[in-house]
A and B are shown apart, each in its own frame.
Chain A
């Protein structure tokens, strides 16, 4: 299994599309590692700097419809090679969400009030998140406070995370 504990990158916007996560001009790369410098290069978000803001982050928290647009799995790969294995959002585009689980990564849907709570109480702080896969809990903390948030994902999603992705599971079962 991948690492599901670390520092949080808050992206306060809805409808962040896959062209913003990894622009099409980099789709000519044929290794995942080559995508590393280009993650979120075209993100339209005032004040965001993709050369500095991503460093050392493991979790992204964002708003609605994250990963809409193209089917490119380069979007989860660009996150993965930067050490980001978890995205929390109100909801995701279908293909992006499936791509995350197919790579053994977490794309967790949370109700709007929980996402609002995280933005209101933790954005701008040095925030850490840990996913407890067995208890379905998100442990969130900053230097002076902490909270526990329940989450729910399907059995299939969880199995893919535990198996490290869809290839291994499919090869065994089909």
Chain B
């Protein structure tokens, strides 16, 4: 019997199996942000164990509320900042250099095929786009990760999606993952890895693969995973070029991180997605998904383009292509948060920021802020947001607010119309 990529990564990182189905894995990366790490830091200090297993494998960023909005968030930043300095964590991204964790860490080349990655953040599954096993964990697992460089997991079964066909113009990775979550339900992949494979994924950029893997958790998944290929190597090349003689050599090395043909799966879905329409959520669960056509005419108050799901350069290019030369409706307000400073700079150079501003968007600094109702675009009671983020939970972007999740293209068209629209503007 062959093995899945997750099994191969487990085999390569297993420290021991202290109890049945309890695999303690060696960690290649421990990522930290200012919301879930400070309590781990203060606990380690209280225990007299203020140290880290390997400062080069720990990366930290202030991203959820930045710049700080009040004394409490300033204190969280301070705890993280001082801890990073004390423990000589060189890759710490402070205000001005910081971005949304799941955008900036891949951008810096920190994630490689075959890696094990944890972070105190549920959307850590994003990094599986590089052929890594990447799992969100709580603060205690993070604390042990920081201190010992290990984390315990039960063995995850795998669900495989074989995605064939060609996405129609105006249909994107976001529409596809919303459709997949609807198929799986919010509990359908709990304790499992979701593999995204097939010609549709082969043709996707790393940005789109990250969008797919990012929302694996919304079906309960432990990690999303895509197999590494030349797209992965191209993305990572500037960081790995000293390790390999050629891109082909890198690809050959990374190709071992792929499931065997006779690997055992919990379930295999074979889908032809050629007829997939733009999708949007309704209600308060991310598996409550309809086609945009069915939701047309739903009025919104705010449009938000950003987050670890859809705040990357590709997303900004798509939204700007819809907005170019147009104005948002007088009945709405719109916000775009480029996910990292590098994305912001690229958007500036490419003229995208000007398009957003001319259309009437507010352009914010890189931050998670509005996605989880912490800052930079919180909704008032009864307001509705068309959002490119990942969760439509009750109160997620503000108490009493409603969130409709959608692609950057649909969000941009919705901004122009002031209501959800299945627009020719983005479907060519």
Contacts and interface: CB of A to CB of B under 8 A. Distances in A.
Interface stretch (A2-10, A51-59, A62-70, A139-147): A62-70
A70 B220 CA distance: 10
Given A28-B73, A91-B190, A42 B147 contact: no
B91 interface: no
B373 interface: yes
Contact of A68 (B75, B141, B186, B374): B186
Given A30-B76, A69-B391, A99 B140 contact: yes
A98 B19 contact: no
B187 A167 contact: no
B273 interface: no
Interface string A59-95: 0000011001111110010000000000000011111
B143 interface: yes
A95 B122 contact: yes
A152 to B, nearest CB: 12
A21 to B, nearest CB: 11
A65 B144 contact: no
A69 B285 CA distance: 10
A130 interface: no
Contacts of B285: 15
Contacts of A93: 187, 190, 220
Contacts of B144: 166-167, 170, 174
Nearest to B372: A24
Interface in B171-224: 186-187, 190-191, 217, 220, 222
A28 B65 contact: yes
A71 B72 contact: no
B187 A25 contact: no
A156 B391 contact: no
Given A24-B372, A68-B186, A95 B140 contact: no
Interface of A: 15, 17, 19-20, 23-25, 27-32, 42, 44, 64-65, 68-73, 76, 91-96, 98-99, 102-103, 154-156, 159, 165-167, 170-171, 173-174
29 contacts: A19-B372, A19-B393, A19-B396, A28-B65, A28-B70, A28-B72, A30-B75, A30-B79, A65-B190, A69-B393, A71-B120, A71-B121, A71-B124, A71-B136, A72-B35, A73-B39, A73-B120, A73-B138, A73-B139, A91-B190, A92-B190, A93-B190, A94-B191, A102-B140, A155-B22, A166-B152, A167-B43, A170-B144, A174-B15
Given A19-B394, A70-B122, A72-B36, 13 more contacts: A15-B285, A19-B391, A23-B395, A24-B372, A27-B36, A30-B38, A42-B395, A71-B138, A98-B141, A166-B140, A170-B150, A174-B15, A174-B24
